Amino acid sequence: QDAGRRPADMFPFKELKKEPDCHLQLDTLFPSPCHTVLIDTDQFQRGRLVPYKGHHVWDSNHVKLPLLNLKTSMDSRWSVVQKSLKKLSSGGSKVRDVQMAINSYNQKHSMEWPFDALYSYVTDVQKKENNFSLVISKMAQLALELPDLIKHPIPLLKQNHSHAITLSQVQISCLLANAFFCTFPHRNTMKHGSEYANFPTINFSRLFGDASRRKTQKLRAIFHYFNTVTGKDTKPDGLVTFERICIALPDLPQWKRQTETLTNLHVSPQGTIEEEGAGMLQVDFACKFVGGGVLGAGLVQEEIRFLMNPELIVARLFTEKLADNECLKITGIQRYSVSYGYSDTFEWQGPYVDNTKRDEWKRRYCQIVAIDALSFKDPREQYTKENIRRELNKAYVGFRRNPNTPADYTPAIATGNWGCGAFNGDPKLKALIQMMAAAVAQRDLAYFTFGNKEQALEVQKMYKYLKNNSITVGKLYQILNDYCKHFSQHPRQPRGLYEYVTEAAGVHTSQL
């Protein structure tokens, strides 16, 4: 960064803690009641990746795989899937064959699922990039490996329970190939009250319809991923962990009593969470249904991240909608693509060769945390005590350190205008909220304002003032609550937030 234009007292970026430099050696990988490992850990210690064995179950606590369908005749769905995918795996398939295959075991939806986006992708770009029928045949073979690769039930990460799942990148690729071919049973209806209404969609059907430029770009990223994971020399060979973290309400901070002052902050208009935030805990500006519109039309921060790192998409298979006191942390994902632009200008640019080192569990040093901000139809709604507390708690759940890891071994947080795009939040308020949560979690922050230089200067100035005056989180919380009162009394012409905070903090300091 250009030191000449750096706001005064900026915490040096280089000094923020990052993995692997701050890494604390992990214990041996082993399953436990709160950690399901889908590979055999004994074999793993000997350097082999072998699926962990078990008995598949068909119940409300586990992913329903297409392999079993005890309600009707045994294996009936899988035998149709097998027959259809075997045809595709033999090569020479066109989009119409893919459509027929998918419809063969989703007959109820065959009239309502359009495939125009897939047709248009093939016509527009596919011929130039890779051979459609060849990729489809490799993907079909991968999907057919499901019974060999997934031998243990996959728990659903349900609300109110902290639980982690570790699986191999190959297992993920196989589950995603099944998602692409829409083989997962009971996952096509999102209607209120339906079995999986509280879960994100996982079958890719929505990606194939409503052709648009966005869909074509998404499909380029998705096909590139499948082409890579089915390549002889490019097949990934690591592990990934998905951890749902739930903090019970009594264990959340008592905000007005918190005595911490702010931790170190580096604000920058340049850079992005995924690039400059490498090695830090990277915030995913999530939807409570993780992945948001990645399989539909959405194409902002979360969706772009899921397309560049498609292993994230598998979280949708097992992660129930996040509650206010929950987050999802993902460790070890790989990046496959490079993109350009944002939203309507988004474009898949090409392959990315990820050389990120791996930890003792063969997971890449890349950790993401999905936290969903509140979505405000009317931005004025955010200045209430309840909404501010909700956002503080949510940020804290995402930022909290592993209780067994000392602060010195915990990376900083890479974040930015969380909740301030599609969700209409106020970046000034969200920056303060995240600084407060980071202070209680005892972690430093890298804050990327995504090109906004003015915001970067304002945030830095506000931070410096609070820090220099040793304003505690509890005091700041009280000031924010006072601002909410002020706001409700002057909803049309409230005072600027930072101006108000500066003044209130100044009065407080002078009274000390």
Positions in the binding site for ligand AR6 (CB under 6 A): 272-274, 285-287, 292-293, 298, 300-303, 373, 416-423, 448, 450
Minimum CB–partner distance for residue 300 and ligand AR6 (Å) = 3
Nearest partner of 207 among 125, 289, 112, 114, judged by Cα: 114
Residue 33, classified by CB atoms within 10 Å of its CB into exposed (0-12), middle (13-18) or buried (19+), is exposed
Q: How far apart are CA 135 and CA 120, in angstroms?
A: 17
Cβ neighbors of 496 (< 8 A, separation 6 or more) are none
Give the residue ranges of DSSP H helices in 195-340. Answer: 213-229, 301-308, 315-318
Nearest partner of 215 among 315, 125, 109, judged by Cα: 125
Q: What is the 3-class SS of 331-378, one letter each residue?
A: ECCCCCEEEECCHHHCEEEEECCCCCCECCCCCECCEEEEEECCCCCC
Minimum CB–partner distance for residue 454 and ligand AR6 (Å) = 13
Q: Which is nearer to ligand AR6, 51 or 291 (CB)?
A: 291
Minimum CB–partner distance for residue 312 and ligand AR6 (Å) = 11
Q: Which is nearer to ligand AR6, 91 or 341 (CB)?
A: 341
Question: Which DSSP helix (H) or strand (E) runs through 469?
Answer: none
Which residue pairs from 340-348 have beta carbons closer than 8 angstroms and sit at least 24 positions apart in sequence?
Answer: 342/299, 342/300, 342/304, 343/299, 343/300, 344/213, 344/214, 344/299, 346/214, 346/217, 346/299, 346/304, 347/217, 348/217, 348/218, 348/220, 348/221, 348/224, 348/307
Q: Which of 243, 284, 311, 320 is catalytic?
A: 284
Q: Which tokens hold the place of 126?
A: 């596919």
Minimum CB–partner distance for residue 288 and ligand AR6 (Å) = 8
Task: Give the E-state strand segments of 43-139 in sequence order.
Answer: none
Tell me the CA distances in angstroms from 59 to 80, 192, 319, 370, 384, one per residue in order. Answer: 22, 20, 16, 27, 41
Minimum CB–partner distance for residue 459 and ligand AR6 (Å) = 13
Is residue 426 flagged as an active site residue? no
Tell me the CA distances in angstroms from 451 to 123, 373, 425, 475, 477, one per residue in order. Answer: 36, 21, 17, 31, 28
Q: Which is nearer to ligand AR6, 171 or 301 (CB)?
A: 301
Is residue 303 flagged as an active site residue? yes
Q: How far apart are CA 166 and CA 306, in angstroms?
A: 18
Q: How far apart are CA 328 and CA 244, in angstroms?
A: 5
Q: Which is nearer to ligand AR6, 167 or 312 (CB)?
A: 312
Q: Which is nearer to ligand AR6, 134 or 300 (CB)?
A: 300
Q: Which of 274, 302, 372, 458 is catalytic?
A: 302
Beta bridge partners of 319: 157
Q: Which of 274, 303, 372, 458 is catalytic?
A: 303
Q: Which tokens hold the place of 475?
A: 């005091």
Q: Which is nearer to ligand AR6, 105 or 450 (CB)?
A: 450
Minimum CB–partner distance for residue 328 and ligand AR6 (Å) = 12
Q: Which is nearer to ligand AR6, 220 or 430 (CB)?
A: 430
Instruction: Name residue 259's amino acid.
Output: T
Residue 404, classified by CB atoms within 10 Å of its CB into exposed (0-12), middle (13-18) or buried (19+), is exposed
Q: Which is nearer to ligand AR6, 373 or 479 (CB)?
A: 373
Residue with the shortest CB distance to ligand AR6: 292
Is residue 129 flagged as an active site residue? no
Beta-strand pair 281-286/367-372: parallel
Q: Which is nearer to ligand AR6, 275 or 360 (CB)?
A: 275
- For 1-49, the DSSP string reads --GGGSPTTPPPGGGS--TTTT--PPPPP--BTTEEESB-HHHHHTT--
Q: Which is nearer to ligand AR6, 85 or 222 (CB)?
A: 222
Question: Which DSSP helix (H) or strand (E) runs through 484?
Answer: helix 473-489
Minimum CB–partner distance for residue 306 and ligand AR6 (Å) = 9
Q: How far apart are CA 248 and CA 250, in angstroms?
A: 6
| Catalytic site positions | 284, 302-303
